[in-house]
């Protein structure tokens, strides 16, 4: 297994650790930063999420730079992304930081696009991520990170940055999903 794939696998391994820190109260108390308070466990969970998200950029960059792109990486990388984002969004619903309807739409889009990718792969086509999909991913990461950190940086200015970013990420999620299906509509319209 090459280094980019090892980084991707480490991202998958970080997911249950992230989940534990977000959902288990170890009784470590709270931390106050810029006038906002959050449990230490949530701070640690948010740091793990952010670190895991950054590894997505690192493994892809390293694989392309050193010509280490593999079929295993093409499979594992988007899977790791979807698992990480889905776990975080479900946790945010559980903590009542995100509306369930938004999370349902985002996760549904991910399943739908994955299904379309499987159909395309069956026809021998591998569709690389488009710029719109990358924007979608990064707006999701920013929104989720801000929500996991309880909007701590912007709370002192009374700016609902985390909520705004969640709606921005929803917009790009829906738009990129529509774009993906529209660009590949011939597969869905094929009568074979």
Residues 156-180: tens digit of each pLDDT: 667 889 999 999 999 999 999 999 9
Token pair belonging to 168: 């921005």
pLDDT value for 189: 80
Token pair belonging to 163: 């909520």
Token pair belonging to 10: 């480490």
Whether 139 has a pLDDT exceeding 90, the answer reads yes
Residues 6-32: tens digit of each pLDDT: 999 999 999 999 999 999 999 999 998
- What is the CATH topology of the domain spanning 3-189? 1.20.120
Token pair belonging to 111: 């399943």
pLDDT value for 155: 67
Question: CA-CA distance, 108 to 112, in Å (whole number)?
Answer: 6
Whether 77 has a pLDDT exceeding 70, the answer reads yes
Residue 149 has φ and ψ, to the nearest 5°, of: -90, 15
The answer for 19, left when phi > 0, alpha when psi is -120 to 50, beta otherwise, is alpha
């Amino acid at each position: 297994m090459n280094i980019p794939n090892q980084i991707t696998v480490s991202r998958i391994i970080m997911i249950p650790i992230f989940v534990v820190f977000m959902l288990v109260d170890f009784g470590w108390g709270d931390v106050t930063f810029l006038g906002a308070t959050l449990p230490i466990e949530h701070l640690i969970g948010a740091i793990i999420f952010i670190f895991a998200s950054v590894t997505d950029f690192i493994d892809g960059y390293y694989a392309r730079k050193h010509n280490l792109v593999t079929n295993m990486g093409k499979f594992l990388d988007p899977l790791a992304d979807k698992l990480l984002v889905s776990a975080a969004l479900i946790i945010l619903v559980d903590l009542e930081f995100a509306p369930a309807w938004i999370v349902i739409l985002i996760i549904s889009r991910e399943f739908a696009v994955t299904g379309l990718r499987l159909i395309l792969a069956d026809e021998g086509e591998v569709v690389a991520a488009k710029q719109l999909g990358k924007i979608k991913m990064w707006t999701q990461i920013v929104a989720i990170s801000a929500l996991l950190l309880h909007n701590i940086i912007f709370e002192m200015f009374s700016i609902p940055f985390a909520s705004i970013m969640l709606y921005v990420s929803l917009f790009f999620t829906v738009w990129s999903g529509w774009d993906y299906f529209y660009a590949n509509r011939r597969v869905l319209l094929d009568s074979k």
